[in-house]
Amino acid sequence: MLKKTPQIIITFLTIILLSGMYSIVSAQQKAKEPKKETFTRPEPTKPIKPTIPTENRYQEDKVFLEHADSLYRPPQDFEEKQIVKGDVRFRQGGIFMYCDSAYYWPTRNSMDAFGHVVMKQGDTLFVYADHLIYDGSTRHAVLVNGPSQREVVMKNRSVTLTTDSLDYDVVQDLGWYNVGGKLVDGVNTLTSHYGQYSPSTKIADFRGDVVLVNRKDGYKLYTEELRYNTNTAVAEINTETLIEGKNDTIITSRGWYNTRTDNATLTARSTILHRDSAGNVITLEGDNLIYDKLKHLSEAYMYKDPNMNPRPMVLTDTARKMMLVGGYGRYNDLLQEAMATDYPLLIEYSRPDTLFLRADTILTFQRTEKVWPDSLAHQWTPETRQRLASYTSIWDMAKDIEITIPLLPSYVRKPGETPLIFGFNGLPLPGPQPTGKYDLKPDTLQKNSSSFEEIPDSNAFGNQEITPGLETEWDIETEDIEENHVDNEVLLEEEETVIGDSLEKIKSRIDQWGRDSIFMIDKNFHAAKAIGKARFFKSDLQGIADTILYHQYDSMLYLQRKPVVWSEERQIFGDTIKVHLIDSVADWAHLPVGGMVIEHIEDDFYNQLAGSEIKALLRDSQLDHLIVNGNVEAIFLPMENDSTYNKIVHAESSYLTVDMDGNDMKKLKMWPEVDGTVTPIFLVTKNDQKYLQGFKWLEMLRPRRRWYGERVTWEDELGDVPDELEEYFNMP
């Protein structure tokens, strides 16, 4: 046992020594090898892939991070904050938000996004910006421009809104700016200091320096507040607004304007200014206006409610110095036609003595007439008229006209020169040509016929081509001569007939001054028509008629059906009265189918004159000369030397003339035969001695100035028709 003990000890020590050496070698080897990561869990056997959270990502109240290339969470933040970069995508309900990088607070449900920011809702709404601040709890976004997006842009189908900073409320579906912005749709461009737009309702509201520019017509709308519907392109006006177009200008404070159809309905006192091609301005003003630009039609109404302080419509023509006033008015700026009803009043103020005209309906319009141009408007001299009258044929007229024939080949001689001889190819023959003169008149053509070479009876032009370089506008068609042969004698007879007919037509066109009416041109003239119980007033002339018509072309005033005209103490009435005006002053008056002229003398005595036709010549608005033709009847009181009236004369004849000197009768002439009586005034007891048959003194119908007030106002209770006037026109 003792012998074996040392051997065991030696073996044990040897094992311990070998183990220590192995440990040292192993430690050295481990020091040389890299340190391996330790795991607290089993090493995975498959690659890790991102998985979509099982939580409902369509929740409207939560913002989800859909994608990012990298995510970093700072460890020392008080609340959880994630920094995401690269192709970042967020989502809240149906709203998607894209950016280059963002700060994301999951617990706060909000984020700040930077770089190429895009908000997308469905396939219709897109918002582009550089920086987005979004609160998912209130669903409110603030978008700002920056380096990656110079303007914040909101696009909704055809509508584009641009600004530097935009607030967008997802719940209300409303975006707004207050730093200035612009909205563009398919029709208009709108700019303002403040603006808001709702993609769902298509309603946009603007405030502060609002300007709307129509992209089709180019007109502009200026206001301080405007509501606009991008779907209908209708602008709702609620404050002072100016709309300026190429030819029209609208001033209003309330109403609607359809910028697509150019129709407007204006519900406050508004004004429309129309400019014609000559630069003249026609103004239409009313409590309510309807404007249709495409139809060139404007309508104006007066408020019917007395509590709304109604004022009449007023149409003013500045060029003609005319105003048309009424309860309703209409104007066509293309045809330059106007109409007024509801107690209309026409005021013509081109002269100091203003003309006032009333009726049930008043029309003003343009009438086109043929007139001489300025170059022919003057009268020809007697020598020129004598020369033109001496023409007996068209050849006589041609001799005085210099003829120039342009664009003809060089071989064609001017009138009066020897013609060239042509060959079979239609071109001049070579060699010298005959010399001399010839006359184009028919009676001398035979004399010079030897100068012409007879062209063979064949297709002389055949298939020849016109030589290039020749100046000509002739169009030569190749046809069979045999099929189109015309006898020369028949042709000459037809030409003589045509020449004779032409000469007669020309003669019928030439007026007494030698001017040919073919040179007359169209020109528009102003006309007005008053229909129904019409009456007019001037300080020196007043009148009534059922219809009054005025034509600027011939300066004529026509009074039809029961017309009556007053001037001072004189009255004229008949079936029809025509009055000629020079610069709005009466020059003469004509009663073509009979009438009566009455002058009040004193008390119930009147000078009276009746006949089949009456014409009065006026000077300075006073009667100067009177002519009566046919069935003349007269009752007058001759003034004695002491300026008294002692007798009354009743006379009958066929013709009469009167010359006046102011208010005094200078001369009276009746012929060929005169029948009558002279009765002292104190013996006159019967009406038939004092009045002619049909006598009517209608002073109670005479228009008074107090009906019309001042020129610019209308203070006569809307022009009510007097009862006496109603009865007069209602009588058969």
pLDDT of residue 440: 37
pLDDT higher than threshold 80 for residue 168: yes
Q: Which tops the pLDDT comparison, 651 or 76?
A: 651
Radius of gyration of the chain from Cα atoms? 51
Q: Which tops the pLDDT comparison, 243 or 471?
A: 243
Please give the mean pLDDT across all residues of the chain: 78
pLDDT higher than threshold 70 for residue 5: no
Amino acid sitting at position 170: V
Calpha distance 634→656 (Å, rounded): 9
Cis peptide before 306 (omega within 30 of 0): no
Q: Please name every residue paired with 635 in a beta bridge, in sequence order, or none if there are none.
A: 608, 650
- Is pTM, for the whole model, over 0.75? no
**In the structure, what pLDDT confidence band is assigned to residue 453 with cuts at 50, 70 and 90?**
very low
pLDDT of residue 443: 42
**In the structure, what pLDDT confidence band is assigned to residue 264 with cuts at 50, 70 and 90?**
very high
Q: Are 86 and 99 in contact (CB under 8 A)?
A: no
pLDDT higher than threshold 60 for residue 300: yes
Residue 213 falls in which region: left (phi positive, over 0), alpha (psi -120 to 50) or beta: beta
Q: Considering only 104-108, 380-384, 642-646, which range has the smallest mean pLDDT?
A: 380-384
Q: Considering only 117-126, 217-226, 577-586, which range has the smallest mean pLDDT?
A: 577-586
**In the structure, what pLDDT confidence band is assigned to residue 502 with cuts at 50, 70 and 90?**
low
pLDDT higher than threshold 60 for residue 182: yes
Q: Please name every residue paired with 111 in a beta bridge, in sequence order, or none if there are none.
A: 104, 134
pLDDT of residue 507: 64
pLDDT of residue 37: 47
Mean pLDDT of the 104-130 span: 93
pLDDT higher than threshold 60 for residue 689: yes
pLDDT higher than threshold 60 for residue 451: no
Which residues in 259-312 belong to E strands, given as ranges? 263-266, 270-275, 281-286, 288-292, 297-301
Mean pLDDT of the 504-526 span: 73
pLDDT higher than threshold 50 for residue 692: yes
The tokens describing 370, both together, are 């043929």
pLDDT tens-digit map of 418-450: 554 444 444 444 555 444 433 333 343 333 333
Mean pLDDT of the 265-291 span: 91
Calpha distance 635→601 (Å, rounded): 12
Q: Considering only 179-193, 368-382, 540-554, which range has the smallest mean pLDDT?
A: 368-382
Mean pLDDT of the 389-398 span: 68
pLDDT of residue 22: 64
Of 66-75, 383-392, 406-415, where does the model show the most confidence?
66-75
- The position carrying tokens 């909704």 is 156
Q: Considering only 315-319, 635-639, 707-711, 720-724, which range has the smallest mean pLDDT?
A: 707-711
Q: Which contiguous run of DSSP H or E holds residue 656?
A: strand 647-661
Of 383-387, 453-457, 491-495, where does the model show the most confidence?
383-387
Q: Are 334 and 276 in contact (CB under 8 A)?
A: no
Taking CA atoms, 295 is separated from 292, 313, 338, in Å, by: 6, 20, 14
Calpha distance 134→150 (Å, rounded): 20
Q: Which tops the pLDDT comparison, 491 or 153?
A: 153
Sign of the Cα torsion 619, 625, 631, 632 reads positive
Residue 643 falls in which region: left (phi positive, over 0), alpha (psi -120 to 50) or beta: left
Q: Are 205 and 193 in contact (CB under 8 A)?
A: no
Of 339-353, 363-377, 412-426, 486-500, where does the model show the most confidence?
339-353
Q: Which contiguous run of DSSP H or E holds residue 103?
A: strand 95-105
**In the structure, what pLDDT confidence band is assigned to residue 718 with cuts at 50, 70 and 90?**
very low
Neighbours of 175 (CB within 10 A): 26
Q: Are 529 and 359 in contact (CB under 8 A)?
A: no
pLDDT of residue 246: 87
pLDDT of residue 76: 67
Q: Please name every residue paired with 345 in a beta bridge, in sequence order, or none if there are none.
A: 325, 358
Q: Which tops the pLDDT comparison, 583 or 246?
A: 246
Q: Considering only 204-208, 297-301, 595-599, 659-663, which range has the smallest mean pLDDT?
A: 659-663
Of 284-293, 350-359, 366-375, 425-434, where does the model show the most confidence?
284-293
